[in-house]
Every structure is written in C-alpha cells, then in structure tokens.
Amino acid sequence: MLKVGIIGGSGLDDPKILKNVKEIQVKTPYGSPTSVLTCGAIEGVDAVLIARHGKDHSIYPTKVNFRANIWALKEQGCSHIIASTAVGSLREEIAPGHLVFPNQFIDHTRKRETTFFDEDVVVHTPMAEPFCQNLIDLLASSAGELNLTYHKNKTVITIEGPRFSTKAESRMFRSWNADVINMSTVPEVVLAREKKIHYAAIAMSTDYDCWHEEEEPVTWEMILNTMKKNADNVIKLFLNVIPRIKEYDDICVK
C-alpha cells in the first residue's frame, strides 16, 4: 500500500499541504521522533509529515533522532519518503534557489547513530544506489513541468555541523566531486534504505558555501532568506509529485 513520508527541513518544518489532518504522538525503541506525526492526504494519497528539526526548529543537526524518525514512518506504513533539505552549492552552475535531486552521498559525519543493526544481528546493507532513481526521475520530470530550475543525479556531502565549513574544507569537498553540502541527509537516507523505504531528497541550494571568492560566505540568515523566497516552489513540487507516485512501478528497493 502506498503511503508517503514527508520530512520537512529548514524553512519547511510545517508546510500546510495535507488535507484531513490529524496529529499523533508516537514512541519508538529509539525514543521520540523530532516532532508529532502530522497525518493526512494529498490528492487521495496518504501522507505523514515529520519536522526534522522540530516544529520550532530547535534541534540542531547531530541531535536529530534520525532512527526514531525513520522507524516511526516505517511503522506508520510509509513505503516512500521525500525529504526537503537546505544545501550549500559547491558548483558554479548550481545557483542559490536551484533545486537538486541527489543520487549519491559522501558521509563526513562522526558522531551519529547510522544503523538499526547495531545489536543482536549484523546486516551489511547494499548502498551503491542509496537514493531511489525512480523518485529522482519523477521529481525531475515534475520540476520541468513546473518550470523550476533543477539538477539531478548529483552528490551531496553531509557534514556534522552545526558549524559551517572552512574555505579549506569547502575546496576539499569540491575536489572530492561533491556537488552540494548539508548537515542532514546522512544517516537519514541510510536508515531509510535499511528499512527498505524508497527515499529521495528535494534539496534547495541556498548559498555557495564559502569556496566562491565572489560570494559572501554562508550564514544562517542567508539560508533562511533563500528558503523563504523559494519554499513555495518546493511545496508545489510536493503537491505535483506525490499524487503521481502511485503511477510509478518502483522496484528500486530489493
């Protein structure tokens, strides 16, 4: 049965996109999710929304209870997850305001719980294709129809945070062929893959990190301003894509 989990990131913690809304509080073996679960529907498709950083954006990246969030969505029957996230651009052509649909990640975190399989049983989950390519293609198709500028099949590097990169780090990440940078995709995508949930990210470029000599180094205010200006585009994409997922024969997760 199709049910879509929506993970709202910075600037999209509580988008008003669901109909017939009810909120539920749940407990998981890993503690509480980072927000209540907002359950409803979009054009007849059941959906469940979690605010990654809390409804009031009070949870910094490493303290996000990623395992509780993914567990809760799986227990609610979610077969797919679409997650919004703010990213810094490591490429000239990915300008602030552009959307990015990554298909690969580089994990540069150090302190996070990254697996459900840390007790009793060892499971080595394949991670060659961590994101759902069918969802990526659907997001790209919908973005094109909506005349939104997008880049697909890019690499996101996730850093620990909450600080931003140094210039040396930013240049190094570019040399690693990373295209965008954030603080939230890992371990979220990893855990979704372990739970056999189809996962894709809608990443909004908000800045040029700090590698770009002709641009101001990233600030939190810069990220919020860009997200506020472009949040409607991400919401339009959610509303366009989710009703169409049921038309997709998605066999990415084995």
Residue 252 domain flag: no
* Predicted pLDDT at 227: 72
Out of 13, 207, 232, 250, the active site residue is 207
pLDDT at 15: 64
What is the per-residue pLDDT for 17? 85
Does the active-site annotation cover 13?
no
**Residue 58 to residues 9, 10, 53, 54, 228, Cα–Cα distance (Å):** 12, 11, 6, 6, 18
Residue 253 lies in a domain: no
Q: Is 207 marked active-site? A: yes
In angstroms, the CA 136 to CA 126 distance is 19
Domain with 151 in it: what CATH number?
Answer: 3.40.50.1580
Answer whether residue 126 is part of any domain: yes
Instruction: Tell me the per-residue pLDDT of 81-102, one tens digit each, with 9 for 90 and over.
Output: 999 999 999 999 999 999 999 9
Which among 209, 232, 249, 250 is annotated as catalytic?
Answer: 209
CA-to-CA separations, 74 to 47, 63, 69, 113, 228, in angstroms, rounded? 12, 20, 9, 18, 30
Q: Is residue 237 part of a domain?
A: yes
In a domain, 180, yes or no: yes
Domain limits for position 12? 4-245
Domain count, the chain: 1
Tell me the per-residue pLDDT of 34-57, one tens digit each, with 9 for 90 and over: 999 999 999 999 999 999 999 888
* Spans of the chain below 70 pLDDT: 10-15, 246-254
- Give the pLDDT of residue 99: 97
Domain presence at residue 238 = yes
